[in-house]
Amino acid sequence: MDIYIITGASKGIGFALSKQLLRKNHHLICISRTKNEELEKIANQGDYPLYYIEQDLAQTDELSYLMERIWQVIPNNFETITLINNAGMIEPIGKVESLSSEAIANNIAVNLTAPMILTSMFINRLENKPIGKKIINISSGAGRHPYNGWSSYCAGKAGLDHFTRVVSNEQANKENEIKIISIAPGIIDTEMQEKIRSVKAEDFELVDKFIGYKENNQLQTADQTAKALIKLIQSPSFFQLPSVADLRNMEIEIE
């Protein structure tokens, strides 16, 4: 039995990952603010193990309780366990002086604080168990390149990358190492991209460029991206990956 814990599972990459990971020998624990009824329907029809938890990750004071709920539904006998910190948000978009303190705090809570806390509790619970353990943080090229208008998002993803580097260094050479990576998946055709294309040029000066990505069919689908990520995660070479990576720079053949 392989365990997968996926945040942001209701849409986009998270939904695509969850849908494709539904298997008899996989036990999925999916987390999002609201349940995805389609995912539950697919799981019920195939009799696939799925446990869904509705949780707003911005409420970081509730994450200890969330993790306790997760451990309560994990079966005793499993061979591998993988935490996929996928949940993220692009808002607020605009020049930094126009952003509210609440919006900034909410963004950092979802994009950085929540995955840090979940990673900490995951490692604390599992560090001495001799099983396959993986943490995948879904990052962004915005964490490695500055985009005017995305100050909060860029800062959160940059922080996530550097957090991952530190944790990877801490885990290196441990007897029961937990492998952690932060991976940028590329530009994906999701609801986040719709939000980006809808903003005014005065708030995000590259909006026309992102509109062009859509009009010129330059976006990857969430399903394509999920297939590549799953193949990467399940590959024996996963444990040799650098702590910070970009999916677009990897040669991964998908059907």
Burial class (CB within 10 angstroms; exposed 0-12, middle 13-18, buried 19+) of 12: buried
d(CA 194, CA 184): 19
The CATH number of residue 141's host domain is 3.40.50.720
Q: Is residue 208 part of a domain?
A: no
Q: Is residue 239 part of a domain?
A: yes
Q: Is residue 234 part of a domain?
A: yes
How many other C-beta atoms lie within 10 A of the C-beta of residue 155? Answer: 19
d(CA 224, CA 137): 18
Q: Is 7 left (phi over 0), alpha (psi -120 to 50) or beta?
A: beta
32 alpha carbon, distance to own chain's centre: 11
| Predicted TM-score of the model (pTM) | 0.96
The pairing of beta strand 244-246 with beta strand 179-184: parallel
**Domain assignment of residue 9, given as a range:** 2-186+222-249
Q: At 75, list the tokens.
A: 């079966």
Are 153 and 140 in contact by the 8 Å Cβ rule? The answer is: yes
Looking at residue 173, its pLDDT comes to: 86
153 flagged as catalytic: yes
Q: Is residue 73 part of a domain?
A: yes
* Catalytic pick among 48, 52, 153, 213: 153
Instruction: Encode the chain (255 residues) as per-residue pLDDT tens digits.
Output: 999 999 999 999 999 999 999 999 999 999 999 999 999 999 999 999 999 999 999 999 999 999 999 999 998 889 999 999 999 999 999 999 999 999 999 999 999 999 999 999 999 999 989 999 999 999 999 999 999 999 999 999 999 999 999 999 999 989 999 999 999 999 999 999 999 999 999 999 999 999 999 999 999 999 999 999 999 999 999 999 999 999 998 866 555
Q: Is residue 40 part of a domain?
A: yes
**Number of domains comprising the chain:** 1
Looking at residue 224, its pLDDT comes to: 95
Q: Is residue 195 part of a domain?
A: no
Q: Is residue 209 part of a domain?
A: no
Sequence-distant (≥ 6) Cβ neighbours of residue 162 within 8 angstroms = none
Looking at residue 158, its pLDDT comes to: 99
Q: Is residue 191 part of a domain?
A: no
The number of C-alpha atoms within 13 Å of 62 and in the hemisphere containing its C-beta is 12
Sequence-distant (≥ 6) Cβ neighbours of residue 82 within 8 angstroms = 2, 3, 4, 5, 133, 134, 135, 136, 233
Element (H, E) at 246: strand 244-246
Sign of CA dihedral 211, 220, 161, 81: positive
